[in-house]
């Protein structure tokens, strides 16, 4: 895969600001109030956005400790996991990367799984998220993965709002790796 350039990073940020960033008062899933909103589903549901996001996260994965799989909490992380896997398919060195997602609760039917896809106990994994505020849903995914026998080595998000997630992950011994931070936003 061709390396990611500063122009790729800037193109993704521009798309995020164009279609996903909105100035208005909102209550976030963390319960906190904010004067801006990021709906990264708007970015990740566009060909350019999903391609750039997948490439940027994969590039980050390649420059740090190796992982067997990439996953995250359903529904928010699923498009990003898929984007990373699509980018990995173009790179023979990353072709073995697996993906999975974490359900909030075990299914009541079928095999009753809470972890779906390419997860297996003993794997070293990276958790991904589009936006982090306090890190709550990804911390929940971390707990579920560890309880199932996985080791979370990395947590990568597209945008860290800078409202406590990095500190929460640090307290768990994992660094939050953000592609973009609050200072990249016009707030």
Write out 96-114 in H/E/C secondary structure: CCEEEEECCCCCCCCCCCC
Residue 161 binned pLDDT confidence (cut-offs 50, 70, 90): very high
pLDDT band at 127 (very low <50, low <70, confident <90, very high): very high
Q: Which CATH class is domain 6-184?
A: alpha beta
Question: For residues 71 and 73, what is the distance between their CA atoms, to the nearest angstrom?
Answer: 7
Tell me what pLDDT residue 144 has.
Answer: 96
Q: Which residues of 20-39 are buried (b: 16+ CB within 10 A; e: fewer)?
A: bbeeeeeebebeeebeeebb
Distances from the Cα of 25 to the Cαs of 42, 47, 93, in angstroms?
Answer: 19, 29, 44
- What is each CA distance from 162 to 140, 165, 184, in whole angstroms? 19, 7, 11
- Residue pLDDT, tens place only, 82-110: 999 999 999 999 989 999 999 987 766 65
Its pTM stands at: 0.94
Q: What is the pLDDT of residue 29?
A: 77
Strand partners, 115: 102
Of 3 and 124, more confident? 124
Least-confidence region, from 9-13, 17-21, 109-113, 117-121: 109-113
The residue with greater pLDDT, 34 or 15, is 15
Going from N- to C-terminal start, the domains of the chain cover 6-184
For the segment 53-60, the average pLDDT, to the nearest whole number, is: 97
């Amino acid at each position: 895969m061709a390396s990611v350039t500063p122009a790729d990073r800037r193109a993704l940020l521009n798309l995020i600001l164009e279609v996903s960033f909105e100035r208005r008062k909102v209550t976030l899933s963390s319960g906190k109030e904010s004067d801006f909103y990021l709906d990264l589903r708007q970015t990740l549901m566009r060909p350019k956005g999903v391609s750039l996001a997948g490439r940027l996260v994969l590039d980050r994965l390649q420059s740090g400790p190796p992982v067997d799989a990439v996953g995250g909490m359903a529904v928010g992380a699923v498009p990003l996991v898929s984007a990373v896997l699509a980018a990995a398919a173009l790179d023979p060195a990353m072709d073995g990367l697996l993906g999975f997602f974490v359900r909030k609760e075990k299914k009541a039917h079928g095999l009753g799984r809470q972890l779906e896809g390419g997860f297996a106990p003993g794997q070293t994994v990276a958790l991904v998220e589009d936006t982090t505020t306090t890190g709550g849903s990804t911390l929940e995914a971390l707990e579920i993965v560890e309880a199932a026998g996985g080791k979370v080595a990395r947590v990568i998000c597209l945008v860290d709002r800078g409202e406590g997630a990095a500190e929460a992950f640090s307290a768990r011994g994992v660094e939050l790796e953000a592609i973009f931070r609050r200072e990249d936003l016009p707030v």
